[in-house]
A = this chain, B = another copy of it.
């Protein structure tokens, strides 16, 4: 996305291979990815290779938003529908950037059961919770998170929505939260660093205060699952790769609502 110069591609590949040789393969994917993308940024001298893609995905999601909202309004169980729409919004990335793909994924999700279904636990936790921390995932997807945030806010909860501080792959940053107008609904904070997930041991006290004081944490997407899978929090994701599918005991394409 940054350059067609094959010498630059070669430089990137060799620098990444040099890094990958030196590390433990027990690191989580987001932690490895953080360093790999740092290398890409340094070699290409581009701090945000996915900027265009993110803008496109935000625009697509905003066009689909009224349609998705009307579907939830018509649903018998609006919370469940909002969860499924928010999960399906996760397919807005580079493989599925067409309106049709996103609409279809959402309609399919509404008809499909969770491969792992902790919805009862989710409702119970929600009932008891006062403070909720919601860990966002990708640009574009954030727009659909609003529909779930609405359901949570209607239940009278105090919600904090977390995005990434620095650009990393297509993860949502403060800019995307503002484009989606999430900042007008709830408090938005930025997770320090530039991992495509949340690496707790790298998070400063400020973020940990939000994390620890929340009665309920909702984590969207694979990146957050990969970095936080051992935590007792709620994961909302559509399974995008064999490795995560194997770890969860489900199939690629499945939708999951799992309490860790």
Interface residues of A, Cβ cutoff 8 Å to B: 6, 10, 13-14, 17-18, 20-21, 25
Contact B18 A21 (CB under 8 A): yes
* Copies of this protein chain in the complex: 2
Smallest CB gap from A7: residue in B: B25
A-B contact pairs, 11 of them (CB 8 A): A6-B25, A10-B25, A13-B20, A14-B20, A14-B21, A17-B17, A17-B18, A17-B20, A17-B21, A18-B21, A21-B21
Which residues of B are found within 8 Å of A20, using beta-carbon distances?
13-14, 17
Which residues of B are found within 8 Å of A6, using beta-carbon distances?
25
Q: Which 10 A-B pairs have the closest CB atoms?
A: A17-B17, A14-B21, A10-B25, A17-B21, A17-B20, A18-B21, A14-B20, A6-B25, A13-B20, A17-B18
- CA–CA, A18 and B17, complex, Å: 7
Which residues of B are found within 8 Å of A13, using beta-carbon distances?
20
Which residues of B are found within 8 Å of A14, using beta-carbon distances?
20-21
Which residues of B are found within 8 Å of A17, using beta-carbon distances?
17-18, 20-21
Smallest CB gap from A25: residue in B: B10
Smallest CB gap from A20: residue in B: B17
Smallest CB gap from A14: residue in B: B21
- CA–CA, A20 and B25, complex, Å: 19
- CA–CA, A64 and B14, complex, Å: 44
